């Protein structure tokens, strides 16, 4: 029985590490995209350019951030579902 408990603890620890890694990566990329967007907005505001190019870049970045969040949710569900462990058997 102790072997089973030890294996469960290892799986929980690995699951926690995988979730943490996925969440940190998603946050870092999202923050970098938001910083890029803020820099772009500032540059457009300073140059008094037309609004249309800024709107396109804004939409692209927001869509990318939404995609990152969706991928993060899917990844966490995979980790919770144990699919990660199934792939190691092959």
Q: Which range marks the domain in which residue 9 is found?
A: 2-83
- Between 24 and 48, the higher pLDDT residue: 24
Let me know if residue 54 belongs to a domain: yes
Looking at the chain, the number of H-run helices and the number of E-run strands are 3, 0
Total number of domains in the chain? 1
In a domain, residue 24? The reply is: yes
Other C-beta atoms lying within 10 Å of the C-beta of residue 75:
19
Model confidence at 2, pLDDT cuts 50, 70, 90, reads: low
- pLDDT, tens digit (0-9, with 9 covering 90-100), for 30-78: 999 999 888 888 887 888 777 777 788 889 999 999 999 999 999 888 8
For residue 40, tell me if it sits in a domain. Answer: yes
Is 7 within the bounds of a domain? yes
Asked, for residue 89, whether it belongs to a domain, the answer is no
Examine residue 88 and state whether it is found in any structural domain, yes or no.
no
Confidence (pLDDT) at 70: 94
Band (87; pLDDT cuts 50, 70, 90) = low
């Amino acid at each position: 029985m102790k072997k089973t408990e030890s294996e469960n603890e290892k799986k929980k620890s690995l699951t926690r590490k995988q979730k943490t890694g996925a969440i940190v990566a998603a946050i870092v990329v999202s923050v970098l995209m938001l910083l890029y967007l803020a820099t772009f907005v500032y540059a457009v505001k300073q140059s008094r350019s037309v609004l249309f190019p800024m709107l396109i870049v804004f939409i692209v970045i927001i869509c990318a951030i939404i995609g990152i969040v969706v991928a993060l949710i899917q990844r966490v569900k995979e980790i919770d579902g144990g699919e990660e462990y199934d792939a190691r058997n092959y």
